[in-house]
Amino acid sequence: MGQDLRYALRAIARQPWLAVAIVLTLALGLGLNVGVFTVIDGIMFRARVEKDPASFIHLSPEYRYPRPTREPPWLVSWRDYQAFSTEAHALSDLSAWAVVQATMNHEEKSTPAMLITCNFFRVYGLAAPAEGRLFSADECSRSDSRAVVLSEEFVKDRYGAGARAVGQTFMINREPFTVVGVLPAGFSGRLRGPGIWIPCSSQPFFYDNRDFFREDLQRWLNVEGRLAPGRTRAEARSELAVIAARQDAFEPGRKSALLLTNGSFGEEPSLRGLVFWMAALLMTALLLILLIACTNITVLQLSRAVDRRREMGIRLALGAPRSRLMRMLLTEILVLSVAAGLLSLVVAYESPGLFRRLLASTAATPVFQMRPDLRVFTYLCIAALTSAAAAGFSPAAESLRLDVAGAMKTGESASGTSARRAHGLLMGAQVAMSLALLFAAVLFLRAQHRMFSADPGFETKQVLSVVLRKGADAPRVSAALREVPRVDSVAVGSPFGGGEFDFDLEEIRTAGQQPGAGKQSRVNTVSGNYFDALHIELLRGRAPVNSAEAAVSLAFAQTFWTEGEALGQRATLSDGTAVTVVAVTRDIQTEHVGIPDSPVLYRWRAPDSSATALLVRFKGDARDVAPLARDALRRFDPDARAVPKTLRNLLDEQAEAGTPLIRMIGVLGLLALSLSALGIYGVVAFAVSRRTKELGIRMALGATRGLIVRSVITASFRPIALGLAAGILLASAAGESLAAFMRKTPIPIDARDPLGLSAVILLLSGVAILAMLKPALRASAIDPARSLRDA
C-alpha cells in the first residue's frame, strides 16, 4: 500500500492540472451532497437542543374521537399538561409552549411570539441569559404580567448591534411590555419567529380574554421535557400512556395514543411521510449532480487510460499481475477522492450559514442543530469511497483490457474502440441526467408563473383587502371606507383560508342526518354583497339576506346533494344552526391553482357585526386608492401602519414564497448543464485527438473544413441523441413524481408540460453543439502533412 501511495503521488505530480480538475469536480459534487445532507439531517432528523440531546423528548399525542375534529392532534390541553407534569416520575422536567401573533410597537406586520412555562429555558439547556434575567415565578403565575424576554438576533435585527434592550418598554399588541432579559444568539429554544418569549400566564391577553387555563377541552400547548437520570424513552412513554388513559375519562369517547420523539420533523407522525419524500427528492437531485461529476471524472480518467496503455503493457510484460496494477490505479483516484472529501468537509461546516443566507432571513429562521456529527462524517466517507469506485473502476479496467503485444505499438490502432464506446455511453448518461434536472427546474419555474398569472375565479386587481385589529368598530370603518373617492362598495369576508383569514372547518349535516354522520366543509362568513364585490358568479339563486339563509359553492352542492337541486335544501351547521340554501356559486381557486376549492358554505354575516377582514371594491389605480383607504382606517385606529393591498398582491406574495425552492432547483439544473457541457467538450476533444490521422487523410483527399466540422459534430451527436431519448423517459418519471408530491401544496406542477420539455431539449442540444464546436473547429484546422507524419 505504501508503494501504491507513493506511485499515486508521483503520477499526480506528473499531471497536476488533471488532478486539480478531478479534485475540484468531485469536491463540487461531494460538497453539495454533504452540505445539503448536513442541513436536512439538522432540520428533519436531529433533536433541536444542543445540550444532552439524548434526554430530550417531545410529547406527540394522537387523539381519536367518534366524530371528526379539526384540532391539531399534537397539541395538549392545560389540564392534561398538569397531569403529565405532576404524575410522570420518568421525567425530570416537562415544559409547554404555544405560538401567538404579536405586533411589536407600530410595525406593519405581526411577528410570531412564544408563550412559555417558566421551566422552558431549563428544558432547552439555557444556563444564563446574555443580559438581564429570566422570568420570575410571580411573572409566570399572574395573567396581568407584562414581562418579555428577547433574543440577541431580534434586538440586533430591529435596533442594531450594541443596542441595550433590558429595562426598555415595548408595545406588544398595543400593550406595554417590559424587557427583563436578552438571550444569547443561537439559543436552541428559538423555535418560532425571531425570538420573543412571554410567560404562559399572559395567554388570555392574546385571545380576547378567553382563558384557556379554564377550558379543559381546549388543546393549545406543545409539550417537551427531559428524561430523568437512568430512565429511558420507552419507560416514560409507558408511564405517560397510563396517565393519558386516565385523562381520557374526562372526555367521553376520546382515546389517546402517545408517542415520544426527539422533537425532529422526521419523527413526528403527522409529518413523517412529507419529510421522507422531501428529503428523498432533494437527495435524488443531488445524487444526480454527483453522478454527473463522477461521469466527468470517468471521462478524464478514460482519456488518460488510453494514453497509459503502453505503460501498462510494459508493466504486464515485466510480470506485474493485473490485480496489482488495478489496485495501484484505484489508489490514485482514491487519493484524489480523499482530497475532495476534505474540501467537502469544509462545505459541511459552512452549510448552515449558507442555508440561512439563502433564506435571507437569519433572524426569523428557527435554530436547528446542524453542526456536522458522526452521521455526516459517515455519509461523507461512504459518498467519497463510492464516488472513487464509480469514477475509477472503469478507467482502471480499460487500462488493463489490452493485448500486451498490441499495447507496445503506438497510434490509434493501439487504443481500441472500447474507450470510445465508454465515452459515448457516459456522454449520453450525462445528457439524460441533466435533462431530468433541468426539466424539474422548468416545472417549478412554470408553476410559479402560473401562480402569478392564474385567474382564481374572482376579481383581484380592483379589490383591496383591509385587515382590522380585533375589537375594531367594523361598521364605522366600513362607513368611512365607503366615503373614499372611487370606492364602489365594502364587503365583509375574504376568499383566502389560513393565516389572518382562517376558515372554520365544520361538520355539515343535511336533512335527516344525526350528529357525526355529516361531511366536513369550510364555512366562510360573509356579508350579502360579498359575491357582487368579488364578481363571484351566482349560478342559481340569489345572495343570502339573513342568518337563516346561506350560499354554497358548486363543489358543495355536488358533494352534499349528488342528485337533485341544492336550492331550497336545509343544512345544519356544527353549532346546531339550520340554514336554507338560497344560492349556488361558481367554484373559485384559492387552495391550488387550476383546481376548484373544496366545498364551501357561505354563511351570512350582519353588516353591523364585528369583523377582522373587509373587502373594498374600487375603480381606478390601486396606488391612488390604497393610501386613501389607510387614511380612512386611521380615523378609528391611529396606530394603523399597513397600506391595504389588492387581492392580486396577496396572491403574488403567496407565489413568491416558493422562490427559494425554485432558485435552489434552478441552480442545481444549471450546474448539471455546466458539468454536462464540460463533459461533452472533453469527450469530443478526446475523440478528435484520436482521429487525427483519419481527419488528416480526409483533408488530404480534398475534404473541406465545413465537411470536417460537420463530420465531427455528427459523429459526436449520436450518443447525445440517445441521451436525450433516455432523458425524456427519465424526465417524464421525475415530473410524475414531483406532481404527486406537490399535489397537496399550492404549487401547481404540470407533469405533462410539452412546451417546457421541448425548451429543455432545445437548450441541451444547443449547449451540446456549442461544446462540440471548438474541438470540431480545431479538427478542421489540422495540417494534413503534419498529422500523417506524427500519427
What confidence tens digit (pLDDT) does each residue in 175-198 have?
Answer: 899 999 999 988 988 988 889 999
Q: Alpha helices of 308-417 — where are they, by DSSP H?
A: 309-317, 322-359, 374-400, 404-407
- Cα 438 to Cα 444: distance, rounded to the nearest angstrom: 10
pLDDT band at 362 (very low <50, low <70, confident <90, very high): very low
pLDDT of res. 116: 94
Mean per-residue pLDDT over the chain, rounded: 81
- Cα 781 to Cα 21: distance, rounded to the nearest angstrom: 27
Is 689 or 10 the better-scoring residue by pLDDT? Answer: 10
Read off the amino acid at residue 243. Answer: I
Contact 457, 531 (CB under 8 A): no
Of the candidate ranges 357-366, 547-556, 648-657, 666-675, the one whose mean pLDDT is the lowest: 357-366
pLDDT band at 447 (very low <50, low <70, confident <90, very high): confident
pLDDT band at 470 (very low <50, low <70, confident <90, very high): low
Reference 26, options 390, 290, 286; nearest CA is 290
Is 141 or 552 the better-scoring residue by pLDDT? Answer: 552
pLDDT of res. 525: 87
**73 contacts: CB under 8 Å, gap ≥ 6:** 61, 62, 63, 270
CA distances from 435 to 82, 701, 726, 750, 766 (A): 57, 40, 9, 16, 13
Q: Which long-range contacts (CB under 8 A, 24 or more apart) does 233-240 make?
A: 233/57, 233/260, 235/90, 236/57, 236/88, 236/90, 236/91, 236/260, 239/88, 239/89, 239/90, 240/59, 240/84, 240/88, 240/90
- Cα 302 to Cα 298: distance, rounded to the nearest angstrom: 6
Is 39 or 106 the better-scoring residue by pLDDT? Answer: 39
Contact 198, 150 (CB under 8 A): no
Strands 147-151 vs 175-183: parallel, antiparallel or unpaired: parallel
Contact 642, 108 (CB under 8 A): yes
Angle 180-183-184 from CA coordinates, rounded to 5°: 150
Reference 149, options 109, 108, 97; nearest CA is 97
**475 contacts: CB under 8 Å, gap ≥ 6:** 607, 608, 609
CA distances from 286 to 24, 436, 741 (A): 16, 12, 18
- Cα 197 to Cα 790: distance, rounded to the nearest angstrom: 79
Is 676 or 398 the better-scoring residue by pLDDT? Answer: 676
Contact 617, 463 (CB under 8 A): yes
Query: What is the average per-residue pLDDT within 626-634?
Result: 85
pLDDT, tens digit (0-9, with 9 covering 90-100), for 592-623: 777 888 899 999 887 667 777 889 999 988 88
Q: 744 and 684, same structural domain?
A: yes
Q: 695 and 648, same structural domain?
A: no
pLDDT band at 680 (very low <50, low <70, confident <90, very high): confident
- Cα 416 to Cα 405: distance, rounded to the nearest angstrom: 13
Largest CA distance in the chain: 101
pLDDT of res. 25: 83
Is residue 744 included in any domain, yes or no?
yes
Is residue 592 included in any domain, yes or no?
yes
Q: 628 and 683, same structural domain?
A: no
pLDDT band at 417 (very low <50, low <70, confident <90, very high): low
> Coil, strand, or helix at residue 615?
strand
Q: 93 and 238, same structural domain?
A: yes
Residue 658: pLDDT over 80: no
Is residue 268 included in any domain, yes or no?
no
pLDDT band at 69 (very low <50, low <70, confident <90, very high): low
Is residue 679 included in any domain, yes or no?
yes
Query: What is the average per-residue pLDDT within 476-486?
Result: 87
Dihedral of CA atoms 157, 158, 159, 165 in degrees, nearest 10, equals -100
Q: 207 and 354, same structural domain?
A: no
pLDDT of res. 413: 43
pLDDT band at 695 (very low <50, low <70, confident <90, very high): confident
pLDDT, tens digit (0-9, with 9 covering 90-100), for 482-519: 888 999 988 888 887 543 344 557 788 888 787 777 88
- Structure letter (DSSP) for residue 104: B
pLDDT of res. 536: 92
Of the candidate ranges 348-357, 423-432, 509-518, 566-575, the one whose mean pLDDT is the lowest: 348-357
Is 410 or 680 the better-scoring residue by pLDDT? Answer: 680
SS3 content of the chain, % helix, strand, coil (to 5): 50, 15, 30
Last residue of a domain, one of 656, 676, 706: 656
- Cα 355 to Cα 34: distance, rounded to the nearest angstrom: 13
- Structure letter (DSSP) for residue 242: H
Positions of E strands within 174-300? 175-183, 196-199, 219-227, 255-261
Last residue of a domain, one of 656, 682, 701: 656
Angle 431-664-344 from CA coordinates, rounded to 5°: 80
First-residue to last-residue Cα distance in the chain: 38
Is the backbone of residue 440 left (phi > 0), alpha (psi -120 to 50) or beta?
Answer: alpha
CA distances from 500 to 214, 354, 402 (A): 26, 31, 72
CA distances from 557 to 514, 554, 583, 599, 638 (A): 19, 5, 10, 8, 44
Residue 646 belongs to what H/E stretch?
strand 645-646
- 91 - beta bridge partners? 227
Q: 301 and 217, same structural domain?
A: no
Last residue of a domain, one of 231, 263, 295: 263
Dihedral of CA atoms 708, 710, 712, 718 in degrees, nearest 10, equals -160
pLDDT of res. 357: 67
Strands 645-646 vs 504-510: parallel, antiparallel or unpaired: unpaired
pLDDT of res. 79: 93
What is the percent of the chain with per-residue pLDDT over 90, rounded to a whole number? 17
Residue 24 belongs to what H/E stretch?
helix 16-44
- 199 - beta bridge partners? 116
pLDDT of res. 745: 67
Is residue 270 included in any domain, yes or no?
no
- Structure letter (DSSP) for residue 617: E
pLDDT band at 219 (very low <50, low <70, confident <90, very high): confident
Q: What total of structural domains would you count in the chain? A: 4
Read off the amino acid at residue 69. Answer: T
Residue 684: pLDDT over 80: no
Contact 251, 217 (CB under 8 A): yes
Strands 111-116 vs 196-199: parallel, antiparallel or unpaired: parallel
Q: 503 and 637, same structural domain?
A: yes
Backbone angles phi, psi at 659, to 5 degrees: -60, -45
Of the candidate ranges 196-200, 458-462, 662-666, the one whose mean pLDDT is the lowest: 662-666
Query: What is the average per-residue pLDDT within 634-640?
Result: 72
Is residue 269 included in any domain, yes or no?
no
Positions of E strands within 82-168? 91-102, 111-116, 131-132, 147-151
Positive or negative, the CA dihedral 608, 613, 619, 623 is positive
Residue whose C-alpha cell reads 366600513 in the numeric block? 478
Q: 636 and 694, same structural domain?
A: no
Is residue 271 included in any domain, yes or no?
no
- 551 - beta bridge partners? 583, 602
Q: Which long-range contacts (CB under 8 A, 24 or more apart) does 277-280 make?
A: 277/741, 278/44, 278/741, 279/40, 279/44
- Cα 563 to Cα 560: distance, rounded to the nearest angstrom: 9
> Cα Rg for the chain, rounded, in angstroms?
33
pLDDT band at 72 (very low <50, low <70, confident <90, very high): low
Q: 198 and 112, same structural domain?
A: yes
Q: Which three cell numbers stand for residue 350?
A: 459552512
Query: What is the average per-residue pLDDT within 375-389?
Result: 84
pLDDT band at 731 (very low <50, low <70, confident <90, very high): confident
> Coil, strand, or helix at residue 234?
helix
pLDDT band at 226 (very low <50, low <70, confident <90, very high): very high
CA distances from 690 to 301, 502, 573, 775 (A): 15, 68, 80, 12
Q: How many residues does the chain have?
A: 791
Residue 106: pLDDT over 80: no
Contact 747, 444 (CB under 8 A): yes
pLDDT of res. 225: 93
**661 contacts: CB under 8 Å, gap ≥ 6:** 444
Q: 325 and 367, same structural domain?
A: yes
Of the candidate ranges 217-231, 276-290, 749-763, the one whose mean pLDDT is the lowest: 276-290
**CA 4 from centre of chain:** 45
pTM beyond cutoff 0.95: no
Is residue 621 included in any domain, yes or no?
yes
pLDDT of res. 306: 67
pLDDT of res. 501: 41
Contact 206, 143 (CB under 8 A): no
Q: Which residues constitute the domain of residue 552?
A: 463-656
Q: 155 and 42, same structural domain?
A: no
Q: 505 and 635, same structural domain?
A: yes
- Cα 723 to Cα 740: distance, rounded to the nearest angstrom: 25
